[in-house]
């Protein structure tokens, strides 16, 4: 028990010494560039497909919160419609969460997975449409 504690203290002391040495060596290192500003990217520095892929990633992840809300709303309305048809009339237990009475049937895990998959598909669709519109705009501009 005592040897473990001594080992832990020794490891902490050695770690602190190494950290202090690294900080001291970093402060003494000469500057690599004269200007603190980074050089801006040039137009030809990245291939077109990489720029398109990056834009698609930004659009897909940026639209995900909105598509998640849309997917949840559409799923809730669809679930209510299907439950109402099966019941032969309006079934208030399956109303969308904002309108549901207390004790309504909540979404289960499978419903949540379906909602997230729907949002991911919708976000990907938004990114693909953005890519196609951007490509058409580039072609028309040339």
Q: Could you tell me which of 91, 100, 92, 103 has the C-alpha nearest to residue 73?
A: 100
Distance (Å, whole) CA 25 – CA 110: 54
| pLDDT of 29 higher than 70 | no
pTM of the model: 0.66
Q: Using one digit for the tens of pLDDT, what is the confidence trace for 111-127?
A: 999 999 999 999 999 99
Q: What is the CA radius of gyration of the chain?
A: 28
Provide the residue ranges of all domains of the chain, joining segments of one domain with +: 1-31, 43-141
Tokens representing 46? 């990245």
The stretches of the chain forming alpha helices (DSSP H) are: 2-28, 48-87, 109-141
């Amino acid at each position: 028990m005592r040897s473990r504690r001594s080992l832990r203290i020794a490891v902490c002391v050695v770690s602190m010494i190494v950290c202090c040495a690294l900080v001291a060596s970093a402060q003494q290192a000469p500057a690599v560039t004269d200007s603190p500003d980074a050089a801006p990217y040039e137009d030809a520095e990245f291939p077109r497909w990489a720029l398109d892929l990056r834009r698609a990633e930004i659009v897909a992840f940026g639209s995900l919160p909105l598509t998640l809300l849309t997917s949840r709303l559409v799923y809730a309305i669809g679930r209510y419609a299907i439950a109402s048809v099966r019941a032969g009339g309006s079934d208030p237990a399956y109303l969308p969460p904002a309108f549901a009475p207390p004790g309504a049937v909540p979404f289960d895990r499978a419903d949540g997975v379906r909602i997230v998959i729907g949002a991911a598909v919708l976000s990907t669709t938004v990114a693909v449409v953005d890519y196609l519109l951007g490509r058409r705009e580039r072609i028309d501009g040339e």
